[in-house]
Amino acid sequence: MNSAGEARDAQPQFITSHTNRSNSNGPSEPLIDSIDVDQIVISEKSSWKNLFAYMGPGFLVSIAYIDPGNFETDLQSGAQYKYELLWIILIASCAALVIQSLAAKLGVVTGKHLAEHCRAEYEKVPNFILWMLAELAVIACDIPEVIGTAFALNMLFKIPVWIGVLITGLSTLMLLLLQQYGVRKLELFISGLVFLMAACFFVELGYAKPNSSEVLRGLFVPSLKGNGATALAISLLGAMVMPHNLFLHSALVLSRKVPRSVRGIKEAITFYTLESAFALTIAFLINVSIISVSGAVCSSDTLDPQDQANCDDLDLNKASFLLKNVLGTWSSKLFAVALLASGQSSTITGTYAGQYVMQGFLDLRMKPWLRNLFTRTLAILPSLIVSVIGGSAAAGKLIIIASMILSFELPFALVPLLKFTSSNTKMGQYTNSVIITALTWIIGSFIMIINTYFLASSFTKLLIHSGLNTVAKVFAGIFGFLGLLIYVVAVLYLTFRKNRKSTQPLLQQSSDAELASVCSSDLPAEGTNGTLYHLPREDITSMQLPNGVPDKDPVLS
């Protein structure tokens, strides 16, 4: 026993595993061996150096907060209301960190991601509806990415938007080839794109020179003035906190081989939270930079009539010409490069989210290229039709509509997450504290109330100004508010329905009976042993690395 303990203590802080890896783990080896990586193994020895092994999933998740949908809503926010809606970004970013940390904790503690918990917990009909809504969220997220990349190609190479939409459908398939080189290299690539976007917009800030005191006031003094401010605030919120991201994050954390001890799980939760905070802080600064640049440019006294018209109806494509006219050609090119990086990285993470959603809800897996082709086709069709018929202006409005759809769908992913992570029968000693439970339910309730209010008020205004006769308005109102009632009832059902399935945390000290209870569902599970390393999940790892063959018995010494 002592020799085994000494051998375990002598191992590096964290190592990687591969079928052809030697058994030499001398102290001179690097902490991260990124050559031929199939999986990342976390050492049982507690150390702050383990943080580097957990770095990666947070950056993949942060991409959803700086995708073309965010760019579009950020630009319009700055153009129409200058810095007044920056506080929405601050609140949404703080809420996102709390929510994303819960998604990561659910995966780490239980060894199952959110979609799998939904399949195990809900009956067939609710589960099917939740799956359809999750798929719709993935498609709604993919639409801004397609249009944004097409706009970027237009800015850089003068390619028509509708042709750019078609090219975008193929470009992501090429980037997905990166996964054959290992999950670490893919994470490093995505992280590099995040820092590229940050560098581009920080340079843009230097060009635009926004008023710092006004920016700070917009961050910390809430304001919703003027027609359309509420709608744009909801779009900002929908573009920031995305439902598919909750499914994605809870699955990505399963790519690490975490020690199944109380200390190991707590360390994983802490480090995943820190990593997410760092990545989301960068995403927050990028969003603030976009709004600040847009607000500074569109509030300039030197704008000519054409540039002022662009500010009044600003979209991703017009932003390029606006920046070029006001700040110079390099500013326009930097924006296009950042937009291209955003669109391409977002499509990769969106493909994985769709794969995990399908695998979790239906126990059905598709090859990544086939999954990408499926979601990409569904996103390209409306994008292509709108861009051909209505041009870039209509395509820009489609991005706003997609962002609002995401905001309305958020409760159907958020409520199950809050229910599961607050349940003793699922999380055991890792259940949410009273403060976190109260905070997250306040956030969720705020989102649901403001969405319901906006949906009702917008539908009422649409009826009043529709030009329909009285009878038609009455019938349209009945059907419209019936749909709103169904929406509210569905959210209340998820909120007040009691959890009926019990899944306790996977711990090294668990008895055979407890392990049998945990693995009693139809979800895949590895064999148990003395150390009980249940992560990474083989099906999750192989989904990310289809050309790799992960070890079931990784080399630890």
pLDDT band with cut points at 50, 70 and 90 for residue 543: very low
pLDDT digits (tens, 9 = 90+) for 164-174: 888 876 766 66
- Amino acid identity at 439: L
| pLDDT for 101 beyond 70 | yes
- Nearest to residue 417, comparing CAs of 435, 401, 432, 399? 432
Q: What's the mean pLDDT in 203-212? A: 89
| pLDDT for 515 beyond 60 | no
Q: Beta-carbon neighbour count of residue 511 at 10 Å?
A: 9
Percentage above 90 pLDDT, the chain: 24
Q: What is the 3-state secondary structure (H, E, C) of 378-447?
A: HHHHHHHHHHHHHHHHHHHHHHHHHHHHHHHHCHHHHHHHHHHHCCHHHHHHHCCCHHHHHHHHHHHHHH
pLDDT digits (tens, 9 = 90+) for 81-98: 999 999 999 988 998 899
pLDDT band with cut points at 50, 70 and 90 for residue 492: very high
- Amino acid identity at 89: I
pLDDT, mean over the chain: 77
| pLDDT for 19 beyond 70 | no
Please give the Cα distance from 487 to 452 (Å, whole number). Answer: 9
| pLDDT for 123 beyond 90 | yes
Q: Beta-carbon neighbour count of residue 512 at 10 Å?
A: 8
Which of 151-160, 266-275, 544-553 is the most confident on average? 266-275
Quick one: pLDDT at residue 453?
A: 74
| pLDDT for 509 beyond 70 | no
In this structure, what token pair is assigned to residue 486?
């169904």
Residues 6+ apart with CB under 8 A from 142: 347, 350, 375, 376, 378, 379
pLDDT digits (tens, 9 = 90+) for 326-373: 878 788 888 899 999 898 888 778 878 888 888 889 877 666 667 666
pLDDT band with cut points at 50, 70 and 90 for residue 218: very high
Quick one: pLDDT at residue 393?
A: 66
Quick one: pLDDT at residue 532?
A: 41
Q: Beta-carbon neighbour count of residue 362 at 10 Å?
A: 14
Quick one: pLDDT at residue 350?
A: 81
Dihedral angle, C-alpha 495, 498, 501, 502, nearest 10 °:
100
- Residues in a beta bridge with 228: none
pLDDT digits (tens, 9 = 90+) for 219-249: 999 888 876 787 778 767 766 678 888 999 9
Quick one: pLDDT at residue 547?
A: 36
Identify the residue with better confidence: 183 or 418: 418
pLDDT digits (tens, 9 = 90+) for 430-449: 999 899 899 888 888 887 77
User: Which strands, in side-by-side order, build the sheet including 39-42?
Assistant: 14-17, 39-42, 256-257
| pLDDT for 99 beyond 60 | yes
Quick one: pLDDT at residue 324?
A: 80
